[in-house]
Amino acid sequence: MLNQGGTRNTFPSLNRRPAFEAADYGLYALGPVRHFTQNARIFSEGDNADNFLKVVAGVVRSCKIFSDGRRQIDAFYVPDDVFGFEFGAEYSLSAEAVCDCTVISYRWPGLEMLAANNQGLSLQLFSYMIKNLGQAQQHARLLASRSALEKMVSFLLMWAEHSGNSSVADLLMSRQDIADYLGLTVETVSRTLSYLKGLALIELASPREIYLKDIVQLQLLCG
């Protein structure tokens, strides 16, 4: 989740709860944590969706490949985010490691069982669903932005915020990943960053480490 625990949180009281733990609530962990190397597939569209996962370290993307080869990225997940919620038999999206990362799987207890037997867990899962919903709406808003500039600036601000220090965006994903998340091309992503650099609003320490030099001004650019 990009807006992790941050600005747009919609249910404050949930924030104060302890982080989701395997031991709590009688969840069944499916073995130990699993590691994935960069770009490794965690699960694929159509796989049996009898478990869901939590990011321990690294970043995960969920995406869909279309018949014409286009790829859309639905979401990026950062440590402590839960993903792979699926209420049918199969995953409707694929999940892949953006960078080397560590995840842990839990058996999905089934919705009826869940609601019937376990208030605490129910509440936790509600909160994750809310988070997912909020992010999906935010993503829709991003995609509907008028210009590439707006999309890119919103993305930078969002990503910087999720990582404590809101004036540095440490992009762990490639330009292609960003493009597929924002509905742009790599070229446009690159050009837009260069343009912002030209305005001295950002500075590229490396291609993936970006300093936001004037957050107020940047915020003005995205309405």
Partner DNA sequence: CGTCTCCTTGATTGAAATCAACTTAGGTGG
Partner DNA sequence: CCACCTAAGTTGATTTCAATCAAGGAGACG
Q: Which of 7, 18, 19, 112 binds a copy of itself (CB under 8 A)?
A: 112
What's the rounded Cα separation, in Å, for the pair 74 and 39? 16
8 binds a copy of itself (CB under 8 A): yes
Residue showing tokens 């992009």: 171
Residues numbered 9 to 68 that lie near DNA (CB under 7 A) are: none
Instruction: Specify the residue, 78 or 148, whose C-beta has the smaller distance to DNA.
Output: 148
Instruction: Specify the residue, 34 or 197, whose C-beta has the smaller distance to DNA.
Output: 197
Question: Which segment (8-16, 96-104, 161-169, 201-209) binds a copy of itself by CB under 8 A?
Answer: 8-16
123 binds a copy of itself (CB under 8 A): yes
Closest CA to 182 of 160, 159, 161, 203: 159
Buried (b) or exposed (e) across 142-162, using 16+ Cβ within 10 A? beebeebbbbbbbbbbbbbbb
**What count of Cα atoms within 13 Å lies in the side-chain half-sphere of residue 183?**
13
157 binds DNA (CB under 7 A): no
Sequential DSSP letters for 44-88: -TTSB--EEEEEEES-EEEEEE-TTS-EEEEEEE-TT-EE---SS
- What residues line the site for DNA (CB under 7 A)? 146-149, 174-176, 183-191, 193-194, 204, 206-208
- What residues line the site for a copy of itself (CB under 8 A)? 8-14, 64, 66-68, 70, 72, 74, 86-88, 92, 111-112, 115-116, 119-120, 122-123, 126-127, 129-130, 132-133, 136-137, 139-141, 143-144, 146, 183, 223
